[in-house]
Chain A
Amino acid sequence: MGSHFIEEYWDVIVVGAGHAGCEAALASARLGLETICFTVSCDSIAMMPCNPNVGGTSKGHLVRELDALGGEMGKNIDATFIQSKMLNASKGPAVHSLRAQADKQEYSRRMRRVLENTDHLLVRQAEVSQLLIEHGRIIGVRTLSGGTYYAKAVVLATGVYLKSRCIFGETSYHTGPNGLMAANHLTDSLLAADISVRRFKTGTPARVDRRSIDFSKMTEQFGDERIVPFSFTTDPDKIQKKQVSCWLTYTNTETHKIIRDNIDRSPLYSGRIHATGPRYCPSIEDKVMKFADKDRHQIFIEPEGLYTNEMYLSGFSSSMPEDVQYAMIHSVAGLEHAKIVRNAYAIEYDCIDATQLKESLEFKSVAGLFAAGQINGSSGYEEAAAQGIIAGINAAQYAKGKMPLIISRSEAYIGVLIDDLVTKQTTEPYRMMTSRAEYRLLLRQDNADERLTHYGHAVGLISDTRMNQTRHKQEEINQEIERMAHTHVGTKPEVESLLQRFGSQRLENGTTLAELIRRPELSYEKLASIDPQRPVLPAAVQEEVNIRIKYEGYIRRQQIQVRHFEKLEKRLIPADIRYDDVYGLRIEALQKLSAMRPRSIGQASRISGVSPADISVLLVYLEKQSRSRKTDV
């Protein structure tokens, strides 16, 4: 008697094909694992249901890091962007951040093409409804239609789809974004596996018809003249193209009055939404109510793509009833006659408490089960993708019986992101920020390749050729820095005139080019005319030479801090430690440590409620244990 239900065997299953799911599935398949990627809709792969851009402050860093590891997001946006900008270009190199406007449809389509043409990878449209767990180990999943898919490892990348509900005013739909089917069953399976689940909320603004906007009342926002690509593999010369503009307008006192007059009709204020929303991208009603002293807020009007007339109203996220939304939008300069295409809405969804995960993104309680993206309580496409590639790599490593890839806070924003998620109990959707990275002067977007390509190469996502190119670039940088340090400059007339031109103090004695680069008003580039031996070097190399010389003192200080930091990170805590046996821990620390089970002393020290004294006690205990183990043998 045969079963009526499908039964299949895979190496790795990825649940979800959003930004996290795509990276996870690609990483796993590219590492040679037979991978199946489930999605509720094959037409919504790598969909951008909210803002039409990739990158931005600190998020741009994540994309470059992801690219250095062998991810797809950077290449995908390089191929589909319609405007690009380096944010904070006038600030220090640590906070330069790339951001590009995407053609949403093209972005999604290209990613779909990549997935569909990757060996060992199948995209399958179905709703996963159940996790199959045996003896604390994942063995597969079941779909709503009854199919059973066995696998060695499973990655959950369900985004905002778990029991999602979209709300504006008194209207609500039990769907995912854009009316896509919600996944209503998987939460129960998570709960059954003793995984704790909570409810977060986020939102998106309305879209309006480009033809109905009066741009003459707005300020045009152009892209950069010289476009810098996201991917280290993209040739900058090949992506210089005509860009589209965004537009800036403002809310006004009239808009704010409409909001205040109708605030009781906002589900956020009437209590119809209980879930926790993010503070960094508040709804316009939150902005108006919480920052009452501001009489206007910026609204950026951004195209959703070249294929459509829909325009995204950035900064105008809301869950007000439809009629209030109309009135609000029409009160804004340039939008008086705007035709609304889609309403703004808030979305509520289930996600997990990510402190249940290890730094590898594997569940502590279920071996072989990984989670990435918004299900972990993060927000943003880039944050999702960055977790996706790590979960995908580690699912593959797990399936192969290899050690997971763990990236530290001192190595990458990806490390900061994951460590924050799994160590700190975030109480709202987590967004990356440059201020969250302690060592940001070392974690620059320009040197992501130097920091991470070797990891991608070690796991097998980066080819030997690309690894060698990265090494070659490093050699060029180091040689040029050496040369700058040893090239002496005398008080020659051409030197004097150059210094005078840039308002720089004249030389008393000779000095080196490196010393001149350190002067605030000078740079590597500006000294070209007095450096006849200068070799022809790529722009990226020149940029890094300049940064590393100019900010050497700061960089060295942060390197020293990192050395201190790493000492504690390298002291691992045995997985089988019984905290009840640790004599002298305070109760609060005992509870937190027992619940979180940190991997290292460093991670333990970042848990709120664990004091330096507790760490001392723990260190002493560990030393005692390791010695008694030695004597047992």
Chain B
Amino acid sequence: MEDTIAAISTNLSGPAGIGIIRVSGEDAIAIADRIFLSPYGRKLKEAASHTIHYGKVLDADGRVCDECLVSVMRAPHTYTRENVVEFNCHGGILVQKKVLASVIAAGARPAQPGEFTRRAFLNGRIDLSQAEAVMDLINAKNSWAVSASVLQLSGRLSRELEEIRDGILDHTARIEAALDDPEHMELVNYGSILEKDVERWESQLNALLEHADEGRILKEGIRTVILGRTNAGKSSLMNLLSGADRAIVTDVAGTTRDILEENVTVNGLSLLLMDTAGIRRTDDIVEKIGVEKAWGAVEDADLILYVIDSSQTLEEEDYSIIRRLKESGVFYITLLNKNDLNARLKKEDIKLLLPSPVISFSARTGDGMDELKRILTEKFASGALQSNDQVIITNERHKYLLREAQKSLNNVEKSIRDGLSEDFFTIDLMGAYTSLGMILGKEIEDDLADRIFSKFCMGK
């Protein structure tokens, strides 16, 4: 009966080995099936209740976000007494957000603060003594959400959304005034007038959603993939950057098998480091997953640090990496690691192969770190990303609402193109108005009537 909601239900602020994305509601299982790919071709809708399934989660474009274990729990014996699906994925922020985004793209709505608990309570799952705690939770989360959204929305974003809303309300008021008082006001070919603005708003919203990813860079960090042949020193580099023994570092090739994530700050820039299994061709199945995963991560990366062991000569694998790097379109920096050992590769030689910054480096001594910082700052901390009034959309709910607004505007355009009359336009215009208002925390109230009366001279 209720719509289906989703949220990350692990705490994002601390490190966690496993991330859980919880989906609850009548359509939870159907939604999960849309993005879940079982190696055995199984569908979750056929799964028995309270069972766990291995598979992959796909994003909206059908690309693999992550592998995971999915729990299917059917109503009523669940936390919320609704159908519940939980995706147990890898613990990184990035992965969890990707899985969540994918669930939302498949039809779920981002949950409000405390909404799972509220449903659990309303559906009779939690006992009475917990009710007060629930309300505390809702209140606390609300006030938190309010202050957070105020901070987030101050400045350009709220101004921009207000502007669009204002324009929508103007057109709606114009149309509604004419519909209400057809003998005093005419609508002649109004669709073509409106269409221009609708297109403009759509491209504004598009830009906002694109910027959402730049906002993501500021919030989550620059997604950085460290690539290199096995034992080139990738994990040592990661340890150097993070100042901790996060990855397992050994001399045995292939010991770093999974993607590890670490948020580090370099010169005030936040880097989301994704250390990967050493890239080498292998027949070992587990190892292979790791290698492909590394390349999968490259697709979403903002930065690649390519580590070469300068004490060794380039091998066929390196040429393969170089070729794929150039094809990736991602900004990359080459680190000629182990410069404290006898160098067999020269910076000039590599530069001929890779037209991008090459740094002579030692992950062990830290030599070359200053140059790396300089290049990073130049690349990522200048221009758009540095400016303080950058439009930032980091909140999944805001993105969802922006997309809803876009959908409504698309409907308006469609109605205009189909030659429908103006009263159809305003239905979806008000839909967009409402969605944008929800981002700004506004109620609708009597905005429209007020606008009609203040702008148009009505009546007998």
Contacts and interface: CB of A to CB of B under 8 A. Distances in A.
B121 interface: yes
Contacts of B135: 583-584, 617, 620-621
Interface in A574-628: 583-584, 608, 611-613, 616-617, 619-621, 623-624, 627-628
Interface stretch (B79-87, B217-225, B389-397, B417-425): B417-425
Interface in A273-290: 279-282, 287, 290
Contacts of B443: 608, 611
Contacts of A318: none
Interface stretch (B299-307, B311-319, B452-460): B452-460
Nearest to A203: B460
Given A95-B179, A298-B184, A280 B458 contact: yes
A173 interface: no
B131 interface: yes
A290 B454 CA distance: 9
Contacts of A90: 421
B181 A520 contact: no
Interface string A42-60: 0000000001000001100
Contacts of B131: 620-621, 623-624
A315 B121 contact: no
A616 B176 contact: no
A290 B457 contact: yes
Given A279-B453, A436-B449, A608-B445, A95 B423 contact: yes
B189 interface: no
Nearest to B145: A613
B457 A294 contact: yes
A87 interface: yes
A87 B182 contact: yes
Nearest to A88: B182
A291 B457 CA distance: 7
Nearest to A315: B460
A314 B184 CA distance: 11
Contact of B139 (A436, A584, A619): A584
B122 A434 contact: no
B30 interface: no
A287 B453 CA distance: 11
A435 B122 contact: no
A92 B128 contact: no
Interface string B83-115: 000000000000000000000000000001010
Contact of A619 (B118, B124, B181, B182): B118
Q: Which of A435, A558, A564 has the most CB of B within 10 A?
A: A435
Nearest to B135: A584
Nearest to A427: B446
A51 B460 CA distance: 8
A91 interface: yes
A435 B452 contact: yes
Nearest to B446: A424
A554 interface: yes
Contacts of B114: 616
Interface in B1-24: 1, 3
Contacts of A619: 118, 122
Interface residues of B, number: 46
A314 B141 CA distance: 55
A554 B424 contact: yes
Interface residues of A, number: 53
A435 B180 contact: yes
B365 interface: no
A312 B121 CA distance: 62
A435 B457 contact: no
A280 B420 contact: no
A435 B449 contact: yes
B190 to A, nearest CB: 11
Nearest to A438: B430
A471 to B, nearest CB: 29
Given A57-B182, A298-B183, A608-B443, A613 B453 contact: no
Contacts of B418: 520
A448 to B, nearest CB: 18
B82 to A, nearest CB: 14
Contact of B138 (A314, A433, A567, A613): A613
B302 to A, nearest CB: 36
B404 to A, nearest CB: 13
A611 B142 CA distance: 11
Contact of B180 (A92, A291, A434): A434
B132 interface: yes
A300 interface: yes
A282 B458 contact: yes
A88 B122 contact: no
A617 B458 CA distance: 41
Which 8 residue pairs spanning A and B have beta carbons closest together?
Answer: A281-B459, A279-B453, A584-B135, A520-B419, A91-B421, A435-B176, A92-B423, A613-B142
Given A87-B182, A617-B139, A623-B121, 6 more contacts: A57-B179, A88-B423, A95-B421, A281-B460, A434-B179, A584-B136
29 contacts: A57-B180, A58-B180, A92-B424, A94-B423, A280-B453, A281-B459, A281-B460, A298-B183, A314-B460, A433-B452, A434-B180, A435-B176, A436-B449, A520-B419, A520-B420, A521-B419, A558-B427, A567-B1, A584-B138, A608-B443, A608-B445, A613-B138, A613-B142, A616-B114, A620-B131, A620-B138, A621-B135, A623-B122, A624-B131
